[in-house]
């Protein structure tokens, strides 16, 4: 029997939210490939009561009495078995069965999705990864994130955090700064997760700054380092040379392991096109498969990837049907 509920779901209105450590952004999508931001309010990060009340007020203002579901994109690991979230940037929700608790408070179906998964899904379905079956979406924001999408669906896995390449994979400890085959040691840094040498310690904006300080004994923000690099500064050249070597190696391993044919990059560092170009060249040098086409590409969505991915999830899932 044809599943008409899916067809109806494709075209009905869904609500989405992107919750970060600073803002809650609520959006509405009336049809696929269209999301409109309706309101943005500061995130209450320390009070669960204030957090719930803020979402309740947003829902009352914009969603009203309709049965429309709400999919929330936010940073954090959600245990697939228990639904318990661990979210370091919004401490008041950490340890809660957030989806169920909010569903009961707001009296509608609510699903929480990892923000990197939402970004990866947006890129895979509607963005820079469209047309590819296996897409590995990378986030290089303040930290390193990632999401794996196969056949247009997020792969969460048993842990719910499949695609999380920022921790666990150790970066190489030696870098050939001059391309002459004389690799120099680079000290592995301790990671917030307790391990040493995770990609997250050097891979995104804060990591680039740490790497620059370690190699050059000077503090500069990532924008300045990347500006200096583009203007030919020697210290910045060393930093970016090390960054490319240290990040491309684990990323090439991820491409080998997942079978991804495209890696869209989102987050602050993705705005620096020459850096993403150089990362693509470095990754393709290291993958087992010889890719003729680009693999690492800038993501298509600068601002609203989280909302777009959440809207795709809202339309995909059976949970939203009565």
In the complex, the residues that contact Zn ion under the rule CB under 5 A are 167, 191, 193, 195, 198
Q: Please identify, using beta-carbon distances, which residue of 191 and 311 lies nearer to Zn ion.
A: 191
Minimal distance, residue 43 CB to Zn ion, in Å: 24
Which residue in 194, 203, 192 sits closest to 165, CA to CA? Answer: 203
Q: Please identify, using beta-carbon distances, which residue of 50 and 187 lies nearer to Zn ion.
A: 187
Cβ pair 264, 131 in contact under 8 A: no
Residues in Cβ contact with 47 at an 8 Å cutoff, skipping those fewer than 6 apart: 92
Rounded CA separation 136/120 (Å): 7
Rounded CA separation 255/267 (Å): 19
Minimal distance, residue 118 CB to Zn ion, in Å: 22
Pairing relationship of beta strands 144-150 and 153-154 according to DSSP bridges: antiparallel
Minimal distance, residue 197 CB to Zn ion, in Å: 8
Q: Please identify, using beta-carbon distances, which residue of 41 and 193 lies nearer to Zn ion.
A: 193
Minimal distance, residue 254 CB to Zn ion, in Å: 15
The neighbouring-strand residues paired with 114 are: 74
Rounded CA separation 41/22 (Å): 9
What is the CB neighbour count within 10 angstroms for residue 56? 14
Q: Please identify, using beta-carbon distances, which residue of 12 and 172 lies nearer to Zn ion.
A: 172
Cβ pair 181, 153 in contact under 8 A: no
Rounded CA separation 204/87 (Å): 19
Q: Please identify, using beta-carbon distances, which residue of 250 and 299 lies nearer to Zn ion.
A: 250
Q: Please identify, using beta-carbon distances, which residue of 60 and 193 lies nearer to Zn ion.
A: 193
Minimal distance, residue 141 CB to Zn ion, in Å: 16
Minimal distance, residue 25 CB to Zn ion, in Å: 28
Name the helix (H) or strand (E) containing 209: helix 205-216
Q: Please identify, using beta-carbon distances, which residue of 17 and 161 lies nearer to Zn ion.
A: 161
Distances (CA, A) of 130 to 95, 122, 214, 225, 252: 35, 9, 39, 32, 21
Minimal distance, residue 210 CB to Zn ion, in Å: 13
Rounded CA separation 293/229 (Å): 26
């Amino acid at each position: 029997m044809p599943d008409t509920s899916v067809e109806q779901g494709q075209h009905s209105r869904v609500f989405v939210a992107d919750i970060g450590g600073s803002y809650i952004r609520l959006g509405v999508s009336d049809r696929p490939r269209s999301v409109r931001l309706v309101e943005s309010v500061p995130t209450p990060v320390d009070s669960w009561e204030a957090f719930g009340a803020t979402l309740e007020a947003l829902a009352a203002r914009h969603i009203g009495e309709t049965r429309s579901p709400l999919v929330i994109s936010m940073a954090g690991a959600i245990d697939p078995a228990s639904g318990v979230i661990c979210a370091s940037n919004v401490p008041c929700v950490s340890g809660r069965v957030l989806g169920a608790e909010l569903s009961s408070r707001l009296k509608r179906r609510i699903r929480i999705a990892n923000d990197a998964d939402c970004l990866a899904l947006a890129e895979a379905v509607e963005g820079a990864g469209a047309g590819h079956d296996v897409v590995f979406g990378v986030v290089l924001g303040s930290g390193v994130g990632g999401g794996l999408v196969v056949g247009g669906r997020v792969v969460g896995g048993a842990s719910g955090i499949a695609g999380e390449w920022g921790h666990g994979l150790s970066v190489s400890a030696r870098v050939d700064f001059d391309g002459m085959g004389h690799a120099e040691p680079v000290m592995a840094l301790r990671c917030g997760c307790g391990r040493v040498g995770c990609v997250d310690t050097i891979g995104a904006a804060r990591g680039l700054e740490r790497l620059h300080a370690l190699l050059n004994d000077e503090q500069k923000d990532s924008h300045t380092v990347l500006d200096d690099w583009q203007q030919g500064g020697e210290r910045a050249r060393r930093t970016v040379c090390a960054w490319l070597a240290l990040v491309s190696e684990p990323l090439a391993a991820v491409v080998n392991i997942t079978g991804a044919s495209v890696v869209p990059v989102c987050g602050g560092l993705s705005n620096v096109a020459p850096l993403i170009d150089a990362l693509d060249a470095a990754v393709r040098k290291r993958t087992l498969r010889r890719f003729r086409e680009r693999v690492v590409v800038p993501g298509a969505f600068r601002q609203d990837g989280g909302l777009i991915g959440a809207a795709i999830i809202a339309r995909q899932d059976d949970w939203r049907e009565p």
